[in-house]
Amino acid sequence: MTDNTFGKLFSFTSFGESHGLAIGCVVDGVPPKVKLQEADIQPYLDRRKPGQNRFVTQRSEADQVEILSGVFEGMTTGTPICLLIKNTDQRSKDYGDIATQFRPGHADFTYTEKYGIRDYRGGGRSSARETAVRVAAGAIADIILTRILGTSFKIQASIVQIGPHKISSDRFDASEINNNPFFCADAQTALIWADYLDDVRKQGSSAGAIIEVVATGVPSGIGQPLYAKLDSEIASAMMSINAVKAVEIGAGFSLSEIAGEIAGDEMQMANGKPEFLSNNAGGILGGISSGAPITARIAIKPTSSILTTRKSIDTSGKNIELRTKGRHDPCVGIRGVPVVEAMMACVLLDLMMRHHAQTTILPEANS
């Protein structure tokens, strides 16, 4: 099944397991004559890279991307671009009982139920390692979107909650996001999270998180009604990321409690252009972008690999108690930030191309 392909016009097809030889993807639909080399993609991967501080997994991966095709003399040619990231730190010597035991919260049980076989090394295909591929593909999407939309276009994600600790919205300062290990828009909240996660790790526990993403500079008209709505495609993209269990657009769940006369964002003209007086819709009406910033929030569950002993079963159907060993992120949500940005870029470019195909093919708009 092409169920490892994301997108229709701008798409990528992903492959690879955590401890196999390599992970990578084939990016298709890239417009020709875009300047592109490995050095353009690498900074996106570096943001996601493990081993950069004590709050993310200590697995040491270079995450060096190689372009195998589709680029000629530093320019895209319109043909598919294969991106390869070799697995260097596989440490595949000792997997202990992982082959026969199902870790709670992991995909061990369900992969086995589905396929009757699983590559248990480091979680195999279900490992968050695969998200490096998304970041690489998303980098290309982001580069192209910036070419199309200019510098007013920007996708920025940040963590707004870890465990019970939320960032206060009045302290949100986007310029802080890249100044701390948490992609946190408030230096003070970052300190609270640091203390909290140190505790969590000492207790052999883990924490969940909420990521907020905002895309500014997206023109109106993007999104296909009714089944490839911009909301639908964002929700699908985000839910396809490991450990994500909830997505909301704009005011999201809180819309269930707001009165209709507040929920529907009013409009007025400002400097000759339509402006929304609020953004409960998260920049999307009827599945189509309105020109207001696209906003979404994503919940990521706590890392399932923890040092606490838990009840489970093994492949022979016996009850067991198990404790996950090894290096793990106390909060996988943190490294999710560049992944969320990447998936948003892929969704937006794909839908822009679909919109463009249908609405600009006629030489003049009126017959």
- Give yes or no for a contact between 331 and 55, defined as CB atoms under 8 angstroms apart: yes
Nearer to a second copy, 175 or 230 (CB): 230
Q: How far apart are CA 137 and CA 213, in angstroms?
A: 18
Q: Assess contact for 25 and 7: CB atoms under 8 A.
A: no
282 contacts 295 by C-beta, under 8 angstroms: yes
CA angle 135, 197, 329 (to 5 degrees): 40
Q: Is 216 left (phi over 0), alpha (psi -120 to 50) or beta?
A: beta
Between 50 and 123, CB nearer to a second copy: 123
**Whole-angstrom Cα Rg for the chain:** 21
Task: Name which of 45 and 306 has its Cβ closer to a second copy.
Answer: 306
Report helix angle 230-239 to 333-359, nearest 10: 150
Any idea what the Cα angle at residue 176 is, between residues 220 and 197, rounded to 5°? 110
Residues 232-291 close enough to bind a second copy by CB under 8 A:
232-240, 242, 244-261, 263-269, 272, 274, 277, 280-282, 284-291
Residue of 57, 126, 156, 180 that binds a second copy (CB under 8 A)? 126
Count the site residues for a second copy by CB under 8 A.
Answer: 170
Report the site for a second copy in 168-197 (rule: CB under 8 A). Answer: none
Scanning 38-46, 55-63, 183-191, 204-212 for contacts with a second copy by CB under 8 A, the matching segment is 204-212
Residue closer to a second copy, measured from CB, 156 or 305: 305
* 62 lies in the binding site for a second copy (CB under 8 A): no
For a second copy, the binding residue among 57, 161, 180, 189 (CB under 8 A) is 161
Report DSSP state, residue 123.
G
Nearer to a second copy, 46 or 119 (CB): 119
Q: Which stretch binds a second copy (CB under 8 A): 54-62, 90-98, 179-187, 217-225?
A: 217-225
Q: Which of residues 71-110 bind a second copy (CB under 8 A)?
A: 72, 75-82, 102-107, 109-110
Per-residue binding letters, 22-41, with a second copy (x by CB under 8 A): xxxxx-xxxxxxxx------
Tell me the C-alpha distance between 120 and 280, whole Å. 43
Would you say 177 or 249 has its CB closer to a second copy?
Answer: 249
Nearest-angstrom CA–CA distance, 295 and 181: 23
Q: Is 202 in the site for a second copy (CB under 8 A)?
A: no
Residue with tokens 């999201």: 252
Nearest distance from residue 53's CB to a second copy, in Å? Answer: 19
Residue of 172, 313, 326, 327 that binds a second copy (CB under 8 A): 313
**Closest distance of CB 91 from a second copy, Å:** 17
Nearer to a second copy, 223 or 338 (CB): 223
Interacting residue with a second copy among 98, 209, 214, 294 (CB under 8 A): 209
DSSP letter for 221, please: T
Contact between 11 and a second copy by CB under 8 A: the answer reads yes
Interface with a second copy by CB under 8 A: which range of 52-60, 177-185, 190-198, 305-313?
305-313
Contact by Cβ (8 Å): 27, 80:
yes
Contact by Cβ (8 Å): 59, 89: yes
Indicate whether 226 belongs to the interface with a second copy (CB under 8 A).
Answer: yes
Q: How far is the CB of 300 from a second copy (least distance, A)?
A: 7
Residue 139 CB: number of other CB atoms within 10 A? 25
> How far from the centroid of its chain's Cα atoms is residue 169's Cα?
22
